[in-house]
Every structure is written in C-alpha cells, then in structure tokens.
Amino acid sequence: MRIVSLAGGIGGARFLRGLKAAAPDAEITVIGNTGDDITLFGLRVCPDLDTVMYTLGGGINEDQGWGRADETFTVKEELAAYGMEPQWFGLGDRDFATHIIRTQMLAAGYPLSQVTEALCDRWRPGVRLLPMSDDRTETHVVISDAEGRRAVHFQEWWVRLRASVPAEQILLVGAEDAAPAPGVLQAVGDADVVILPPSNPVVSIGTILQIPGIRAALEGKTVVGVSPIIGGAPVRGMADACLTAIGVETSAQAVLELYGSGLLDGWLVAEEDKGVALDGVAVEARPLLMDSPEATREIAAAALALALSLSR
Ligand code: GDP
Ligand code: CA
C-alpha cells in the first residue's frame, strides 16, 4: 500500500509515528512543510523537516517535541556572548551539525530534496521525506506594533513574539514561482490514499497546499484529514492565532470547511465535535488526543481505515 501524508512539525511528526506503527508494511511518502525555513547565522534551518526526521529517526527531544535529545547549547551561549542576534531561536549543538551540512550541500548546488535525502541516510526515518518544494518559500506575517506595520518572518512572530501580536496577514513569499519538489506529484499520483495529519491548517498544511500543482493533484485522490482542533481549542500550540489571521474560527467545523469537500473525502474529529458535517465528506468521531504512542497509532489506524473505505 502506498500512503502520502502532508506534515508540519510536532503534530505531523507525532501522527506519522502512529501511522508507521499502524501500517508497518506501507510505503509512506511525507511531503514536508518548508514555509517555516529560516536562515540563521548563515545556516539554513528547516524546522519542520527536521522535526519529522528526528522524531521518526529516534533523535527527537521527546518532552519538547522539537530539537535533539541530550542537547547542549554551548554554541548558542558563545554566539550570545558576542552579542549575536537573534537569540530567541533555540539551536542546540547537535542540531547545528544538521544545519551546517544542509547549508554546505545547498551552497554546493544540491537541491533541498537531495540534501534531505542525504540527512535521512543517517536517521532512517522509515518514510520517504520530501520537502514540498526545492524552491525557497518563506511564511511571513504582517503585524503592527511599536515599530509600525511590517512583515516579519513567521519564526519571529511565532517564537519571539509567541503570536502575542495579532497577525493581519500570513503570506507564503515565493509561492507563485515555486514548483513541487521532484517526486512530490509522482508520489501523490501513485498513492492509494492521502492522509492529512493534525498539523497546523494554515502555516503547515495550508502552506503545502499553496505550492502550485499540489492541491490539484490531491483533489484527484482519496484524502482523509485528522482535525487539529478539539472542542474549539488547538490541543497544543497557538494554531488559533493563525486561523484568526485568515478569518477562520478555531473549530473542527471551520477547518473542515477551510479544506473543503473538493479536497477532503473524510474527516476525523474528536468525540466532543461529533456534530461536525459537510456535504460530500464522511465525518467520524473518536478520541483524537495523541497522548501516548498507542493512542496515536489508533488514531492513525482509524484515519487509514476511513480512507481505505472511501477509496475507489
Ligand atoms: P508545528 O509545525 O510544530 O506547529 O506542528 P504541526 O503543524 O505539525 O502541528 C501543530 C498542530 O498539531 C497544533 O496546531 C495542534 O492543533 C495539533 N495537535 C497537537 N497535538 C495534538 C493532539 O494530541 N491531537 C490532535 N488532534 N491535534 C494535535
Ligand atoms: Ca512548523
């Protein structure tokens, strides 16, 4: 069986671990969000790709959900001692090695998809991890604060400002000119089913869907999504701030309508959201809290079973 899954960072990676456990023999291709990517200290950092790679490869900091296990921060402290900015983004010593290799390979002319494949040679995540695009796109957020109305990198709004300043607009800079990475459309075309994990619907899944050609390719497939919103709240994190920015309510119903029946064939919601409905979409309610590997595996198994029951 061939499965394609889209993924952001923590929510996506956790779900994918469950999906691997639920379908150990499946060929899983993951299309990862690169809108969060940022250049820091001259190094290209791809937080969502790395979160998926470390989580599935056994190198993640489990408590935090991002970054490396057994991490130290000597380089970060030394940079700070020189007064180097930014100091609000946490890069650990082990993590730095990944970004050094990536930057070196990109500078040598390798596309991000090949760099990611090379990094995965070490981590063996058990899925084929593809960036959504080899072209550089970045999510920027328009805010108004003491410095006036301006656009900041998504990471500055999310990590430095903790989304405390309302986002007036969220844009994927470079999207129109970006192409899906090699292998992406092929993998979608070959897929038996497509699963959307409970990743951020705006800055993770929404970003991937903005790469020209990806949404159209998905619309021809059987797609089942898992709601990232439970009872009106984004379980962990601040996805509500992103939804508000694009004028969408923080509810499983509103996210279902955002994706729409053109994209989704099935939608898994939490039991407290069982009234959710949309013409043309099969909605199923079940526990959706990924609070243990076992619970996560069962969520993924339910998403897969729904998808297989809907696929022609
Ligand atoms: P990020 O890139 O690290 O923000 O991660 P993702 O975009 O992949 O996922 C973040 C989203 O996962 C959050 O917006 C939450 O709504 C969702 N999420 C986190 N934990 C859970 C959970 O246990 N259950 C469900 N259904 N959603 C979750
Ligand atoms: Ca992310």
| pTM, full prediction | 0.97
Mean pLDDT of 158-165: 95
Instruction: Provide the residue ranges of all domains of the chain, joining segments of one domain with +.
Output: 2-35+126-134+177-311
CB 268 within 8 A of CB 302: yes
What residues flank ligand 1, with Cβ below 6 Å?
7-12, 48, 198-200, 204, 226-228, 230, 234-237, 239, 288-290
3 state SS for 58-105? CCECCCCCCCECCCCCHHHHHHHHCCCCCCCCCCCHHHHHHHHHHHHH
Q: What is the mean pLDDT of residues 232-258?
A: 96
pLDDT in tens, 167-215: 999 999 999 999 999 999 999 999 999 999 999 999 999 999 999 999 9
The strands making up 138-145's β-sheet, listed across from edge to edge, are: 148-153, 138-145, 169-173
Residue 69 has pLDDT above 90, yes or no: yes
The preferred substitution site among 204, 207, 229, 297 for testing ligand 1, maximizing ligand atoms within 8 Å of CB, is 204
Which CATH topology does 2-35+126-134+177-311 take? Answer: Rossmann fold (3.40.50)
Question: What's the confidence (pLDDT) of residue 53?
Answer: 98
Place of tokens 């998808």: 307
- pLDDT, tens digit, 9 for 90 and up, residues 250-274: 999 999 999 999 999 999 999 999 9
170 burial level (CB within 10 Å; 0-12, 13-18, 19+): buried
Nearest alpha-carbon partner for 281 in 304, 257, 265:
265
